[in-house]
Chains A and B, each alone.
Chain A
Amino acid sequence: MNGIYLGIDVGGTHTDGVAVENGRILRKAKVPTQDDLVECTLDALETLLDGLNPRSVRRVVLSTTLVTNAIVQGRLEPTGTLLTAGPGIDPAVFAPDDRCRVVGGAVDHRGREIVPVDEGAATEHLDRLAGDGVRTVAVVGKFSTRNPTHELRLAELAGDRFDYVAQGHRVAGTLNFPRRVATAYLAAGAWRSHREFVAAMTAALRRFSVLAPLYVLRADGGTQMAAALANPAETALSGPAASVMGVDALGAVDGDTLSLDIGGTTTDISVFTGGAALLEPRGATVGSYRTQLRALYTRSTGAGGDSCVRLEDGRVRLGPDRCGPPAAFGGTHPTPTDALVVLGRILGDRHRAADALRPVARGLDLPVEAAARAVLRELGRTVAEAARKFLDEINAQPVYTIHELLQGHRVRPLRAVAVGGPARAAAPYLEDALDLPVRVPEHFDVANAVGAALARVNVEVHLVADTARGYLSIPQVDAYERIDRRFSLEDARQRIDRAVLDLARARGALDPDDRVERVDEESFNVIQGFSTAGAIHRLRAQIRPGILARIA
């Protein structure tokens, strides 16, 4: 990788940035996050580019809370939704808001049309939406990833009266109608603000004479060119993803590894196994929305460096709230960070920290130093308990073949990696609680920005070939093709490999090391009566989320 790679992660309190060249970190930036995300991004950029030639920047990768915040705070653009469903749960249950309408039309599990789409009802609803000034629409059909005809027709009916139409089959390839509805709805609702942000950022980069393309980080730890992003909702939860990729980039992963990102009020836990971070089995939950967004599998526990310390029934408790900054840094309430300051593990106003901790110490009937240790043990305990619960959940993931069940692969991390501000100081307490060696890599304080800078362009593609129906679908590349009876598993393999590479190229620079990895393969004979009518091949292939290079 030649040239300079910039990574910027706009977090809740800090905006972190790094400039990386040939596996070396050239510059680091840490600035406070402001309301205007463009402003703080530019502040970080200014620091990073100081003394560097902006024209040697190869790409700029951004991870922001823009979309997450819009979703969580209910600031999405008003969006109309049209659903077609057919047999099953009453689709009206999944209406995201009262601008949604279910129209007639149904496709079955093999992608066969059962009921044609009710164009009259659809047009009527679209007219009403347009009349109400709604400018973005989501159209979602049950089993649309098997046959998108209805969604395509609805998008056609929407025409150019709307600025953006999110189509269910394009936002995710897996089966899950309720999540597809939520995902398409979020894509439409976040579309405009994301677009404006990208435009503003691109313009700002040009003012800094950075001509390299702008990339965004996605929830699964992969990146792609901002201009080619089909679903802006994919940038939700990119913050936790940035840290996880950073842990990998800082060279700290070795076998099954637990990754801990200790932040202000939370610690995010994730797991590496087989050389890669685990992904959410069904998709990310963002705010109250369960989506199909591919996301790194992370669990957050409400305990971080700035969590409020309380006494409850004579025991130390943390969080989940934050009561301002740590006392050692101008706040009023005691925090784990203050405990670290009291013990001399990080620098800060030791007197203020001790004063803040004193009521806790008195309640525990301990000297202040012992109370500080109790606070940190509680931090370790909370994180360790959450990690254990998370591992149980991971190891309870269902399997559907005898082979997999009897193999019973279980994830058992033998080491942990901690990053984030208080990581180094708190590591011994985490080690005790987890009963695992905890490694804190160099540059642990900007792991998130390093992850953004070095994230790989990744893709995931699903193929279903049904030779009895004579039909093949790959929703991610909009491929819906006729096939004949002789279409074999090997043909399917070649077709999906091609789709993966095409999609990766469309999303950004293809790395020479990129390998297509076929992750799932299923082949079933379709029997009609008592003879074979054809076969169904289902494949999933990807360029897995990963990093371009490790920091030397």
Chain B
Amino acid sequence: MNLRAPQRTGIVFFPAFDWAIDPTHPEREERLLYTRDQIFEEGLLDIDGIVQFPPRVAAEADVARVHTGLPALADHLSDSHLISAGGAIEAGRRVLDGEVERAFALVRPPGHHARRVVWGLRGFCVINIEAVMIEHLRRHHGPDLRVAVVDTDCHHGDGTQDVYWNDPDTLFISIHQDGRTLYPGSGFPDEFGGPNAYGATLNVPLPPGTTDEGLLHVIDHLVLPVLEDWKPDLVINSAGQDNHFTDPITDMAITAQGYAELTRRLRPHVAVLEGGYSVQDALPYVNTGILLAMAGLDTRHVVEPDYRPGRFTVSEDARRYVERLCEILLEKYRDRDGLRRSAFGDRAHHREERQVFYDGAGITEHQAETVRLCDACGGSVQLETWVQPSRKALVVEIPRRCCPACRSDAEAAWERAGLDRYRWVELRDRPADRVERKTAGRSG
């Protein structure tokens, strides 16, 4: 009578019933209410081998390891974000400690649209909870952790992509609805990583209406072969649930069965809830499916009330498009070293400019990033950022596994950067786990 999970699985469940962006915002108190009801009614927390852990409150230092907050990091942090990130940390920590084989951080608010630099709220996100977790784990459990993040939220995980753009030790794969049809409008196959991490970012834009079959095709024919080659120590799934056919803000056709099967095939060590706003008709079933699949239990009966097999179909063209996309991307991934040479040649530095829109704050940020090309490490990075040209910031990053040449390059840039040109200059010395700042004027 008592179910036993073949895979010992942890769950950090923190629905934050007392927090919302605003009362009718999709990211509101009610979001995980029905999910809690389903979890409790199913008795999921009674299953032998499913263990519940409380979240912790992440420290500001955990966040500072990932984000540069402007004007100051503290301006953007709230208890809700620190607990959500702390929930993810707790899930990852229990896996690395060997207490459980897998863990699911069923927490809110989400984080995958939060980028390295934070000027405000973007896509419901302020801090990147997966990145905060990963860097906490690297700091406390092993600096050499090889990590893969597979983002299956319906929106492009542009924040996570940005955090790991120059990191050759973190593979980021985002599967999402085509950016030409959905926020944030990015995530195309040519976004392939920075010059020292080329091919460590993979983007799989899927046509609206994609079904379970299409999504699972991507897992089988692209994600799993890449993971097999990459050999990560830790696989993280940014488990957004807004691909569901009932989601109010997207146009995909994934079912609870699809999510369960995806989880079973992907076998993530840690799944972290991201988006998903069909709070009544999808989340209770999808979350149940994901948790059961992680635990290695039967999910055949986890079906939405209005589901019937064969309800969703796609055109032959759309099917072939997805197959072809996987072929091209896999080929591109396999040829990434050759492509890197032809893309960047033997330049000393690579410079990129970009604009970032903060939908939650209604502001546009400008960035100019210069990366030192390096075969030995992720390369030193100098990132200029401003919303108003008169208030620029420079962020200098010494990467986690930094070679001496890149370190002197970064230190020279830090010395050079004067407060005549910048309002703020931040040195992020990752090997020393230290953040230093020079600030012009008194107001910061």
Contact = CB atoms under 8 A, between A and B. Distances in A.
Interface of A: 85-91, 93-96, 106, 108-110, 114-115, 142-143, 174-179, 182, 282, 288-290, 396, 398-403, 405-406, 522, 524-527, 529-532, 536
Nearest to B29: A524
A183 to B, nearest CB: 12
B1 A182 contact: yes
A400 B36 contact: yes
Contacts of B43: 89, 176-179
A286 B11 CA distance: 26
A96 B2 CA distance: 10
Contacts of A525: 23-24, 28-30
A102 B142 CA distance: 50
Given A108-B305, A109-B34, A290-B2, A90 B300 contact: yes
A144 to B, nearest CB: 10
Interface in B286-314: 288, 292, 297-298, 300-305
Interface string B1-43: 1110000000001111111000110001110011011101111
Contacts of A290: 2, 46
B42 A177 contact: yes
Given A177-B43, A402-B19, A527-B24, A87 B304 contact: yes
B305 A86 contact: yes
B415 interface: no
Given A288-B2, A396-B54, A530-B24, A522 B37 contact: no
Nearest to A177: B41
B265 to A, nearest CB: 21
B285 interface: yes
B80 interface: yes
Closest 3 CB pairs of A and B: A178-B43, A175-B40, A114-B305
B292 A176 contact: no
A401 B17 contact: yes
Interface of B: 1-3, 13-19, 23-24, 28-30, 33-34, 36-38, 40-46, 52, 54-55, 57, 79-80, 83, 248, 256, 280, 284-285, 288, 292, 297-298, 300-305
Nearest to A405: B83
A175 B37 contact: yes
Nearest to B277: A527
Contacts of B302: 87-89
B46 A282 contact: yes
Given A179-B46, A525-B28, A526-B30, A401 B18 contact: yes
A222 B303 CA distance: 41
B55 A87 contact: no
Nearest to A146: B37
Nearest to A530: B24
B52 A398 contact: yes
Contact of A110 (B14, B34, B42, B300): B34
Contacts of B16: 400-402
B46 A403 contact: no
B28 A87 contact: no
A182 B301 CA distance: 21
B33 A536 contact: yes
Contacts of A402: 16, 18-19, 79-80, 83
B291 to A, nearest CB: 11
Contacts of A522: 17
Nearest to B56: A405
Nearest to A176: B43
B3 A89 contact: yes
Contact of A109 (B28, B37, B44, B79): B37
Contacts of A532: 23-24
A93 B44 CA distance: 13
A175 B45 CA distance: 12
Contact of B46 (A96, A176, A526): A176
A282 B288 CA distance: 19
Contacts of A143: 37, 41
A87 B1 contact: no
Given A177-B42, A522-B17, A106 B24 contact: no
A109 B284 contact: yes
A89 B301 contact: yes
> Which of A96, A176, A177, A403 has its CB near the most chain B CB atoms (within 10 A)?
A176
A406 B300 contact: no
A89 B297 contact: yes
Contact of B305 (A87, A401, A524): A87
**A93, A106, A174 — which one has the most chain B CB atoms within 10 A of its CB?**
A93
Nearest to B298: A90
Contacts of B29: 524-525
Contacts of A179: 43, 46
A531 B54 contact: no
Given A88-B288, A176-B41, A524-B29, 13 more contacts: A85-B301, A87-B304, A88-B301, A89-B3, A93-B1, A109-B280, A115-B305, A182-B1, A401-B17, A405-B83, A525-B24, A525-B30, A527-B24
A392 to B, nearest CB: 12
B37 A531 contact: no
A524 B33 contact: yes
B304 to A, nearest CB: 7
B28 A89 contact: no
A222 B277 CA distance: 43
A406 B79 contact: yes
6 contacts: A88-B42, A89-B301, A282-B46, A402-B83, A524-B30, A532-B24
Nearest to B13: A398
Contacts of B55: 405
Nearest to B281: A108
B249 to A, nearest CB: 10
A110 B46 CA distance: 22
Contacts of B298: 89-90
Contacts of A142: 41
Nearest to B38: A109
Query: Which residue among A95, A114, A178, A525 has the maximum number of chain B CB atoms within 10 Å of its CB?
Result: A178
Contacts of B37: 109, 143, 175
Taking each of B40, B45, B256, which has the highest tally of chain A beta carbons within 10 Å of its own beta carbon?
Answer: B40
Given A87-B304, A114-B305, A525-B28, A94 B14 contact: no
A529 B248 contact: yes
A92 B264 CA distance: 22
B18 A403 contact: yes
Contacts of B24: 525, 527, 530-532
B57 A406 contact: yes
A282 B41 CA distance: 11
A215 B24 CA distance: 51
A400 B14 contact: yes
B51 to A, nearest CB: 10
Contacts of A90: 298, 300-301
A328 to B, nearest CB: 42
B234 to A, nearest CB: 25
Nearest to B301: A90
Contacts of A108: 305
A97 to B, nearest CB: 9
Contacts of B46: 176, 178-179, 282, 290
A374 to B, nearest CB: 35
Q: Tell which of B37, B42, B43 has the most Cβ of chain A within 10 Å.
A: B43
Contacts of A88: 38, 41-42, 288, 301-302
A252 to B, nearest CB: 32
Nearest to B20: A525
A299 to B, nearest CB: 17
A406 B58 CA distance: 12
A361 B405 CA distance: 72
A363 to B, nearest CB: 38
B202 to A, nearest CB: 33
Nearest to B34: A109
A354 B47 CA distance: 48
B17 A110 contact: no
A446 B372 CA distance: 80
Nearest to B39: A175
A401 B83 CA distance: 10
